[in-house]
Structure 1
Amino acid sequence: MNKGLIAICILLTTVVGGLNYTMAKLGLHVASPFLLLAIRFIGSGLLLLPFVIRRRHPRAAKQWLQVAGVSLFQTILVMTFIYLSLHTISASTSAILSSTNPIWTILFAFLFFGARYRVVQWAGVVIGFMGVIVTQNFNMQMNEGTIYALLAGVFWGFGTLVASRWSKAMDTWVLTAYQMLFAGIVLLLASLTLEQPYLHLTSNGNSWGLTLTVLIWMICFSSIFQFLPWFYVLKHYSPSKASTFMFLVPLFGILSGALILGETIHWYVIAGGLCTGIGITLVNRPAKPVRDALKLGSSGQAKGKINGVYCFVRE
């Protein structure tokens, strides 16, 4: 494992991920949510096809279903709920709420993979959720935007586990290209059936420059330059540790929202983001190093890692 390359991929993913909220907010002036996402993913998938056509493709139907599953949980549901949230809440708030995904990753690992955690990790979960409340200025109104952003975090957390497990046997470039194409086709159908699609190239105050900037960013940066390094990280690195760094996403989201959109950075947004970050850090805090990957304790339990998370499992 090349740690330097892993670090570069994580930094690229978090910077682009943070800027995505601001660009998505601008993009909603150009096109309706489902149509904008469909253009983004179909365009990205088609751009990648010449580079993956000769690479090793899945042969079994099961692997193609896994590609579709990764696309559904890691891309379609996450991006849909983020874009829907941006209609009613700021880019910075959406970034913080949806970036609670590491907490959901831990909870799903506990519920579905039998992971057990120490007190400090459960304290991290509690502090992380307190951060969500603080972000709302202690007035947790579950409006549409808030619910959508939280749902994005939920599916992002579950999708991280799914992508980590299923991507190991696949070529990263192939997985990225086809999961985006699948997402684009599904979202195009959703646009035609669930919304009144619109595409404003130069009207409503838009200019060709804004439209081209948004579309180029969505197709190239938001998709290719984010998903490729992220899937590489999940394939070669612990999903729980990688998720910890996702706290940098709302940081870049807040900064870009203030600089580009002129959004006001309220004190409670910063405080809530810090609480969420502390919670995520505690959740992923490792136990004291053990000599072996799995070491028996005196209580008849085994101590080690499950999916990269330090935890306890019964023998």
Structure 2
Amino acid sequence: MNKWLFSMLVILTTFLMGSSFAIGKIGLSYTTPLLLVGIRFSLAGVIMAIAVRLLRIPHPKAFFQWIKIAVIGSFQTAGVMSCIFLSLRTISAGQSSILTFMNPLLVVIFGTIFMKLSYSLRQWTGVILGFIGVFITLGAKLSFEIGSILAYLSAVSWAIGTLLIKKWGNEFNTWVLTAYQMLFGGIILLMGSLILENPYFRITGTSISIVLWLAIMASIVQFAGWFYLLQKGDPGKTSAFLFLAPFFGVLSGWLILDETINWYVTIGGLCIFTGIFLVNWTSSRKMEAGSLETSLNK
């Protein structure tokens, strides 16, 4: 692939990943958190499901395969997005994005414990450095705000979703899996909104634009662009650029929401970015689990 095209697509997709935190926080002025992400992913899932049907891409036939997709969606979409958008009520978009994108570090830990996967010394160094960065980002104190805990839980849910995709993903076409896990996740989020919230949606030009941006640009376009990069380039090395997403999360929070970037957030963020880079940087002959979560990134 042309280096300029590769660079532009990397910047575009990671910008869409990171900036969705700030744009989502603006959206919370018009609706409740679970309803916002429920609408976002139900809409994105419906659009993609129609597309894969029209393209006649093979769909699962066994009932338990659909159950597996629903389980993936419950972690990869519902769990991750509910925790992110609930966290945005009490912490900054930048801090939420930094904590959420530590998921590659958790993949190494969970993969070792539950799936007996093996990782290199470099990757474990990245994990240790990343967790040091988390400690610094939180102000070098152990008393977490509820928003910080929720953002961390979003990373946990994302890591679980990643490992489930590693375990079951070969049974499905990637586009079909993406479409329906988003749709199932969106439906779960809408049900959660009805049960756990007093949902409302204030219809304005801005609120509609935010939903469309999150559903189309920050979900469908972002995923399509990133998956294209993984297909055309070295998947392991391409995934190393995931560290740009929390960078854009912090930057967009500063530019769009006028959020203050504290010195310890900057230092902690740099540690986490470096840790993510070390975890994801793999050779073309051996793409390890740390890079897989990006294939279904929102």
TM-score category, normalised to shorter length? 0.7 to 0.9
Indicate how the Cα distance of structure 1 residues 217 and 163 shifts in structure 2: closer, same or farther if over 3 A, else same. Answer: same
Instruction: Kindly provide the CA deviation profile for residues 97-143 of structure 1, in whole angstroms up to 9, marking residues without a partner as x.
Output: 11101101111221122233444433322211110111122233211
1:188 paired with 2:206, answer no
Amino acid in structure 1 at the alignment position of 2:265: V
Which residue does the alignment assign to 1:33?
33
Instruction: Kindly provide the CA deviation profile for residues 234-256 of structure 1, in whole angstroms up to 9, marking residues without a partner as x.
Output: 78888865653321111101111
Which residue does the alignment assign to 2:130?
128
CA distance in 2, matches of 1:131, 1:198: 37
Amino acid in structure 1 at the alignment position of 2:106: W
Which residue does the alignment assign to 1:88?
90
Amino acid in structure 2 at the alignment position of 1:144: I
- CA drift of 1:72 comes to 1.4
Which residue does the alignment assign to 1:179?
181
Map 1:44-123 to 2 at 5 A.
44-53=44-53, 54-123=56-125
- TM-score, with length taken from structure 2: 0.85
CA distance in 1, matches of 2:129, 2:170: 32
Structure 1: stretches of 5+ with no match in the other structure: 202-207, 294-303, 310-315
Match of 1:148 among 147, 150, 158: 150
Which residue does the alignment assign to 1:300?
none
1:246 paired with 2:248, answer no
- Is contact 1:102–1:243 with CA below 8 Å preserved after alignment? no
Count, aligned residues = 288
Amino acid in structure 1 at the alignment position of 2:48: L
Higher strand share: 1
- CA drift of 1:13 comes to 3.3
Amino acid in structure 1 at the alignment position of 2:37: L
% same residue: 43
Structure 2: stretches of 5+ with no match in the other structure: 292-298
1:269 paired with 2:269, answer no
CA RMSD, Structure 1 to Structure 2 (Å): 2.8
CA distance in 2, matches of 1:101, 1:3: 30
CA distance in 1, matches of 2:290, 2:144: 33
Indicate how the Cα distance of structure 1 residues 308 and 224 shifts in structure 2: closer, same or farther if over 3 A, else same. Answer: closer
CA distance in 2, matches of 1:220, 1:113: 34
1:260 paired with 2:256, answer yes
Indicate how the Cα distance of structure 1 residues 222 and 284 shifts in structure 2: closer, same or farther if over 3 A, else same. Answer: closer
SS in 2 for 1:168: helix
Which residue does the alignment assign to 1:22?
22
In terms of mean alpha carbon deviation, does 98-107 or 278-287 score higher?
A: 278-287
CA distance in 1, matches of 2:97, 2:265: 11
SS in 2 for 1:87: coil
Amino acid in structure 1 at the alignment position of 2:35: L
